[in-house]
Amino acid sequence: MTPWLMAGLLFTPLAWAVLTLLVNFNRGRLISWLGILVQVVVSLGLWAAVAGDGGFHYQLGGWPAPLGIELRVDGLAVTFVLLTALVAAACGWHASIYLDPAKAWHRYFWPLFWFLWAGLNGVWLGGDLFNLYVGLELISLSAVGLVALGGESAALRAAIRYLMAALLGSLAYLLGVALIYGQFGSLSIAGVSRLLGEAGTAPGQTLPLLLMLFGLTLKTALFPMHGWLPPAHGIARSPVSALLSALVVKASFYIAARIWLDLGGYLGSYGLAQLIGGLGAIAVIWGSWRALWQAKLKQVVAYSSVAQIGYLFLLFPLTWGVAEPVSLQAQQGITLQIISHALAKAAMFLAAGNLIMSVGSNRVDALAGVSRFLPFSLFSFGLAGVSLMGLPPSGGFAAKWLLLQSSLASGQWWWLPVLLAGGLLSAAYVFRVYRASFMERAGTDRFFHPSRSLEVIPMILALLSLGLGLVAGPVLSVMVLPFGEGGGQ
Amino acid sequence: MSLASLLPVFALMTSLLAAVIIFTLPERSFRLRTLVNLGAAVIKLVLVGVMIWGIVQGRAYEVAFTMVPGVRFVLRADALSMLFAGLSALLWLLTTIYAVGYLEGSPNRSRFFGFFSLSVASTMGIALAGNLFTFFLFYEMLTLSTYPLVVHRGTPKALRAGRSYIIYTLCGGAVLLLAIAWLHGLVGDLSFRPGGYFAEVEDALRGPLSLIFVLLVAGLGVKAALVPLHGWLPQAMVAPAPVSALLHAVAVVKAGAFGIVRVVLEIYGLDAASDLGLLAGLAGVAAFTIIYGSARALYQVDLKRLLAFSTVSQVSYIILGLCLFGPVGVAGGLVHLVHQGIMKITLFFCAGNYAETLGVHRIDELDGAGERMPATSVAFTLGAFGMIGVPPLAGFTTKWIMGTGALAVGMDWVVVVLVVSSLLNAAYFLPILHRIWFGERQAAWPQERRWGRLETSAWLLWPALITAVLLILAGLLANLPVSPLSWVELIVAREVAL
Amino acid sequence: MMRLLASALAIAVCLVFAGALAAAVWQIAGTPAPVSLPGLLADNLAASGVEHPVTAVLLNFRSYDTLLEIGVLVIAGIAGISMARTTSLEDPELRTSDSLLYALQRWFVPLMLVLAGYLLWAGSDRPGGAFQAGAVLAASGVMMRLGGIPMPFLRPGLLLRLGLALGFTVFLLVAVASAAGGEAFLAYPKAFTKPLILAIETVLTFSIAMVLLALFVSAPVNQALEPEEGDPG
Amino acid sequence: MTPSLLYAFAGVLLCSLGLFGFIRLAHLLRKLLAFNLMGSGVFLVMVGLAQRDGEPDPVPQALVLTGIVVAIAATALAVVLIRRYYHLSGQATLAGPAATQHGTAKPVVRAEDRS
């Protein structure tokens, strides 16, 4: 059973990429709906399998690591696989209605979309440093292609900027990998961390870790390397922006986190952890602050991504040299933050797309009077905003709560103001949008109602991110499942 | 779990579902919306009644599940929560009736009523919350669901008011979150229980606990409009009258006060709180707020702003009562939670009636309103007298009990505060009453509307009259077993172990 | 002044980087690697079905990498031709009317084709293989383009897309088929390992050449703008 | 000091040169060239370091082959994007605002042709 699930996960996206490449947009839409269905089913199946009897290692080609590529299929991985399935399904569905079939180049959305999905699945499951590099490149290039789709000057500009950042990042990462391989002669993360654990081996270098983390944080748009993100996410079509903000940036962070949790203990240092955490903290404040002053709606959302991603980097200080339960608490908090941000941000971008379509302008102040028409999309935007603000009962709140707890427990109280101020600032920019929509102004009749299904999709995502806080317990219990013997929490 | 133990959930759901349904209703379907509104309100009232009955029998209703690892979501119906739940359920019904009449023919009604029900649902959740975490959950939900009501009119003024409202309340919420998280980190998940947890505090914890208490009160004080955190309240007056009524009498202000009650009685416990020397400070703040609010009210020309400042002062009675160290004082404070609600909502209903029917907003325009709208004016007069504390009205009961409580614990200065504030109340209410009844009408009303033979729309009139009657009964029949007072005595018997 | 300062800063950064990197390399070189992959490889080479270890690693031990790598190439191709909106690829800029070039083409193109074939075949027992062959093939295509020889299959149509996808598809099919045969993914049935790998290499060669060529000729310019959302169409 | 270790150090040199170019050069094509320089450096380090004690190690060689393909794909895509960007905006660098600006919107029409 599991082999087939793995196959479905790794290969159907690739197959669908090829299929959709051969047909035009409308046929690609039909094919993709089928593929999305398959993917969701498969992801659910694998998630259930792991939740049922624990994670396992999967050897591709039947060759064990270090000779072959070994995938690590554990609770965290399948959690993200499932998340990807949900968000990508929503974005694909939305795009299939949102994008205009008449534009010839939109047909290329589907193959890029499927390659992106394949790359994401590969990264979540990847346990081999070099394989992760290839997966990252798969993701980056298809993401760049999606941003540049349509090839309008501003989009190209954003895409090039994005591509340059991504290339530099992946090279830095690859250099780190090269050094690691040179030292240990192995590419599997688990293998390297095992070697580091053994007494005999010489102490590892810090530089490889630094290089890999630099590359990955650059791809994750950590302050001050975030310059490429807002233009790229702001200018892409809304479904694309949703994919990028919700999933793509998370992929590189996920790798960074895995490396940190496995190797950071040996190769990292308190200073490094604090530095990364500090940059994340600055990103939270700075990103929210910039979001507050953007004139264009999607730029607001894009900058909010910079801020929300900043929270994730608190993982590094909160897991270095702290007690095991505290570290676990922090990991759970970050996982929740990733999930809820993915859902909320996807909802927000899709809703923003609908709003833009409704009022026919991408400026915030053009929303005046929209709330009179009571469009679902505004609600979805608001509900997603609640999660970003970290107000209960959203997943964002649960995440913030766990982070507060672990900062208090680890005695690193200086993260508290960041967590609180970040929430308030995000409230500020979300309410700025509300405010604009509540403004009563004459001549708001030029208002177009997007089709129902376009409005329903972001609503579903927003409700998921809102309700996540209520079911945080079960979700997290799967994530901490150990290998082999399952069940135990 | 049995069906009965789910009662709190149902009580919550009635208004939550109502909100969802109303949001999906089209703007024009007036009948259906009104039906849903009133139906939900009535059902909720019944459910609350059933729970009250059960609690008298000594039953307890509780639903709990783990939300985030280490934190439980608890809905529990106990005597104290029923005090607040009952109040909000009753006044929700009346306010809804009133709002239906008030907003007739104005735009964005399904948005309004949707958020209206949502905020009542949050209030219900606040009442039924079984631990600080759950309380905070609904406390923030209340903030979000009341914002659209405050900015409902969409005018620049309303948007400004909404902005300061949201800034105040969200910052308060952040402080509250910090305090709760810290407390949780120190002593774990504390569900409310009579007598609190810190009967004996080891010295290591004294410092942190005091600081946390300050943070908690600061966070809750924003909604409770403790000076100097009251700035948003007078501005929020731009909201439609039913909203102001809801904000002042039931939802927001009371949520803050109720939270402080929960913290003092059921987290820290009276003894610990006073032992830490926290109540004295709180009493000082409350007393100052009482005087300050009344003093500011003297100088208002806008009727609703005057009422706002009077609220600032009145709500602090509840908190002051808590600080009287004794069961009697606590009883006075708690019963004022109900009495002030009834009196204040009456006043707001009447103010709304004046505004809707005669277009009167300023006090100096009220001359001769008495003969034009006798019923409304009678209700208003009763409310004002109640506020001043004229026997045998509700306000009198409160002040009397609190006074005796203060003397019992030898805090005579509190009596002085009570007397001064009553004099101030008289000083700003009596001139208004004089204008209403004895003022000579020169000019025509700013913008008058006719409603057939009734002085104003029945939707607007009846709620005001009902609440007026209620506030007489609450005072007159204070010793009957059905009165708020006797319920409060039941609570005090259970809460403050003697 | 500012620029000078900036370059000075950049130089400093690069020097520090170089120093740190060199130091790390030196230290690592000092200690032997605890795991010796070459040894492992030599032991399993027989089972891989290819004589040349590099090819074995590429197409057998780490074939998943290679699959994704071809995917990356295809993505680049897709993104490239998504830019190309005109059906005519006769881009005047790319035309040279140089008689010498024509003359050379007559000789070079066939030679390069042969070379490509050789590289492909050689891949199984000495360095070389699909990618090198594909690159040479693409190069000859580029020459033909420069010579202005029309290559209709390069118009962004079904043919081109088929060409892009072909190699990747075959690779994928083998992967799945091997699973259907009961093996793990990308584990070739022992009997046909060699022919399968050769087949894969052949189609890969064509696809790689196709992608590179497509990327070379695509992105001709037209002014058809795709406005940003909310901006006027 | 084996020759392959020499390769590794040459790689180090190329890396830092490429880095400098990548940071300092504004022209996009040059940036791209610098990137490729860096890439070659990385590949040299990878192979050279792994083979420091003489005997060849096929694994990094294979990895480098893969890496090269990926790098070429990225480069080719970048070139396409840069060329098109240059033709549309007349700029070969990212400095300065994008060239295309538009007037005001006609929402209803747009909305219809979208849905």
Q: How far apart are CA B396 and CA B389, in angstroms?
A: 4
Q: Report the gap between the CA of C11 and the closest CA in chain D (Å).
A: 7
| pLDDT greater than 60 at residue C86 | no
| pLDDT greater than 90 at residue B3 | no
Confidence of residue D100 (pLDDT cuts 50, 70, 90): very low
Which residues does chain A have within 8 Å of residue C197's beta carbon, measured at their own beta carbons? none
Residue B461 lies in domain? 277-498
Confidence of residue B478 (pLDDT cuts 50, 70, 90): confident
Minimum Cα–Cα distance from A382: chain B residue: B144
Q: Report the gap between the CA of C55 and the closest CA in chain D (Å).
A: 7
Contact C80 D19 (CB under 8 A): no
Higher local confidence (pLDDT), D115 or D81? D81
Residue C225 touches chain A, beta carbons under 8 Å = yes
pLDDT per residue as tens digits for the range A38-58? 999 999 999 999 888 888 888
| pLDDT greater than 60 at residue D108 | no
**Phi, then psi, of B276 in degrees rounded to 5:** -75, 0
Residue C182 forms part of a structural domain: yes
For A265-274, A340-349, A447-456, B138-147, which range has the lowest pLDDT when averaged over its residues?
A447-456
Q: How far apart are CA B97 and CA B428, in angstroms?
A: 29
Q: What is the ipTM of this complex?
A: 0.88
What is the Cα gyration radius of chain C? 23
Higher local confidence (pLDDT), A175 or C31? A175
| pLDDT greater than 70 at residue C127 | no
Q: How far apart are CA D67 and CA A82, in angstroms?
A: 30
Higher local confidence (pLDDT), B482 or A414? A414
- H or E segment to which residue B73 belongs: strand B72-77
Q: How far apart are CA A418 and CA D69, in angstroms?
A: 43
CB atoms within 10 A of CB C42: 12
| pLDDT greater than 90 at residue B408 | no
pLDDT at B70: 79
Confidence of residue B60 (pLDDT cuts 50, 70, 90): confident
Whole-Å CA distances, A329 to A313, A395, B191: 14, 15, 22
Residue C136, C-beta contacts closer than 8 angstroms, at least 6 positions apart: C112, C115, C116, C119
Confidence of residue C232 (pLDDT cuts 50, 70, 90): very low
Residue C16 forms part of a structural domain: no
pLDDT (mean) for A28-33: 93
Higher local confidence (pLDDT), C194 or A194? A194
pLDDT (mean) for D85-106: 61
Cβ–Cβ under 8 Å, residues C145 and C218: no
pLDDT at C185: 66
pLDDT per residue as tens digits for the range A55-102? 888 888 778 878 888 898 988 999 999 999 999 999 999 999 999 888
pLDDT (mean) for B285-314: 91
Residue D107 forms part of a structural domain: no
Please report the residues numbered 18 through 57 in chain D whose beta carbons come closer than 8 angstroms to any beta carbon of chain A: 22, 28, 31, 35, 38-39, 42, 45-46, 49-50, 52
Buried b or exposed e, range A276-289, using 16+ CB within 10 angstroms: bbbbbbbbbbbbbe
Residue C41 forms part of a structural domain: no
Q: What is the mean pLDDT of chain B?
A: 87
Q: How far apart are CA B139 and CA B123, in angstroms?
A: 8
pLDDT at C230: 54
pLDDT per residue as tens digits for the range A310-353? 999 999 999 988 888 899 899 999 999 999 999 999 999 999 99
pLDDT at C121: 80
Sign for the pseudo-dihedral over CA of B134, B138, B143, B144: positive
Contact A183 C183 (CB under 8 A): no
| pLDDT greater than 60 at residue D110 | no
Cβ–Cβ under 8 Å, residues A116 and A102: no
Residue B77 forms part of a structural domain: no
Q: How many domains does chain A have?
A: 1
For B123-127, B265-269, D108-112, which range has the lowest pLDDT when averaged over its residues?
D108-112
Mutation pick from D4, D46, D55 vs chain A, by most beta carbons of A within 10 Å, is D46
Residue B470 forms part of a structural domain: yes
Cβ–Cβ under 8 Å, residues A165 and A214: no
Q: DSSP string covering A366-404, please?
A: GGTTGGGG--HHHHHHHHHHHHHHT-TTSHHHHHHHHHH
Percent with pLDDT over 70 in chain C: 76
Planar angle of CA A465, A292, B137, nearest 5 degrees? 35
CB atoms within 10 A of CB B204: 9
CB atoms within 10 A of CB C5: 9
CB atoms within 10 A of CB A291: 26
Cβ–Cβ under 8 Å, residues A225 and A217: yes
pLDDT (mean) for B172-185: 92
Residue A430 lies in domain? 270-489
Q: How far apart are CA A337 and CA A312, in angstroms?
A: 7
**Phi, then psi, of B486 in degrees rounded to 5:** -65, -35
Tokens encoding A425:
């600032």
For A107-121, A345-359, A418-432, B94-108, which range has the lowest pLDDT when averaged over its residues?
B94-108
pLDDT (mean) for B276-298: 90
pLDDT at C207: 87
Residue C7 forms part of a structural domain: no
Q: How many domains does chain B have?
A: 1
pLDDT at B366: 86
| pLDDT greater than 80 at residue C125 | no
Subunits close to B (at least 3 CB pairs below 8 A): A
Residue B352 forms part of a structural domain: yes
pLDDT (mean) for A6-11: 87
Q: How far apart are CA A148 and CA A108, in angstroms?
A: 11
pLDDT (mean) for B46-70: 86
Residue C198 lies in domain? 50-217
Minimum Cα–Cα distance from C39: chain A residue: A67
Q: How far apart are CA A478 and CA B376, in angstroms?
A: 62
Size of interface A-C (CB pairs under 8 A): 192
| pLDDT greater than 80 at residue A448 | no
Planar angle of CA B391, B260, B488, nearest 5 degrees? 40
| pLDDT greater than 70 at residue B379 | yes
**Residue B444 has what DSSP assignment?**
P
CB atoms within 10 A of CB B497: 12
pLDDT (mean) for C192-208: 82
In this structure, what CATH number is given to the domain that contains residue D18?
Answer: 1.10.287.3510
Cβ–Cβ under 8 Å, residues B239 and B161: yes
Subunits close to C (at least 3 CB pairs below 8 A): A, D
Contact D112 A448 (CB under 8 A): yes
| pLDDT greater than 70 at residue A201 | no
Residue D105 forms part of a structural domain: no
pLDDT at A102: 85
Q: How far apart are CA C48 and CA C44, in angstroms?
A: 7
Higher local confidence (pLDDT), A435 or B136? B136
Q: How many domains does chain D have?
A: 1
Higher local confidence (pLDDT), C33 or D76? D76
Please report the residues numbered 17 through 76 in chain D whose beta carbons come closer than 8 angstroms to any beta carbon of chain C: 17, 19-20, 23-24, 45, 49-50, 52-53, 55-59, 61-63, 65-66, 68-70, 72-74, 76
Q: How far apart are CA C156 and CA C143, in angstroms?
A: 20
Q: How far apart are CA D77 and CA B115, in angstroms?
A: 51
Whole-Å CA distances, D106 to A213, A359, D113: 46, 9, 11
Minimum Cα–Cα distance from D111: chain C residue: C230
Q: Which of B254, B261, B259 is nearest to B279 (CA)?
A: B261
pLDDT (mean) for B288-315: 90
Residue C103 forms part of a structural domain: yes
Q: Which of A276, A392, A401 is nearest to A336 (CA)?
A: A401
Cβ–Cβ under 8 Å, residues A462 and A86: no
Sign for the pseudo-dihedral over CA of A15, A20, A23, A27: positive
pLDDT at C60: 80
CB atoms within 10 A of CB A4: 12
**Residue C57 has what DSSP assignment?**
I
Which residues does chain A have within 8 Å of residue D63's beta carbon, measured at their own beta carbons? 130, 181
What is the Cα gyration radius of chain D? 21
pLDDT at D105: 32
Residue C33 forms part of a structural domain: no
Higher local confidence (pLDDT), C155 or B359? B359
Confidence of residue C1 (pLDDT cuts 50, 70, 90): confident
Residue D19 lies in domain? 3-93
Q: How many domains does chain C have?
A: 1
Contact D74 A175 (CB under 8 A): no
pLDDT per residue as tens digits for the range A10-23? 889 999 999 999 98
Residue B178 forms part of a structural domain: no
Residue A155 forms part of a structural domain: no
Percent with pLDDT over 70 in chain A: 95
* B410, B413, B415, B420: CA torsion to nearest 10: 180
Residue A186 touches chain C, beta carbons under 8 Å = yes
Tokens encoding A256:
């960074």
Residue D109 forms part of a structural domain: no
Q: Which of A292, A442, A294 is nearest to A368 (CA)?
A: A442
Cβ–Cβ under 8 Å, residues A60 and A71: yes
Tokens encoding A261:
């949790």
| pLDDT greater than 60 at residue D97 | no
Of D50, D73, D103, the CB nearest to C72: D73
pLDDT at A233: 92
pLDDT at D96: 55
Residues facing residue D26 across a β-bridge: none
Residue C25 touches chain D, beta carbons under 8 Å = yes
Q: Report the gap between the CA of B343 and the closest CA in chain A (Å).
A: 32
Contact D105 A361 (CB under 8 A): yes
| pLDDT greater than 90 at residue A116 | yes
Higher local confidence (pLDDT), C177 or B349? B349
CB atoms within 10 A of CB A199: 4
pLDDT (mean) for A354-365: 86
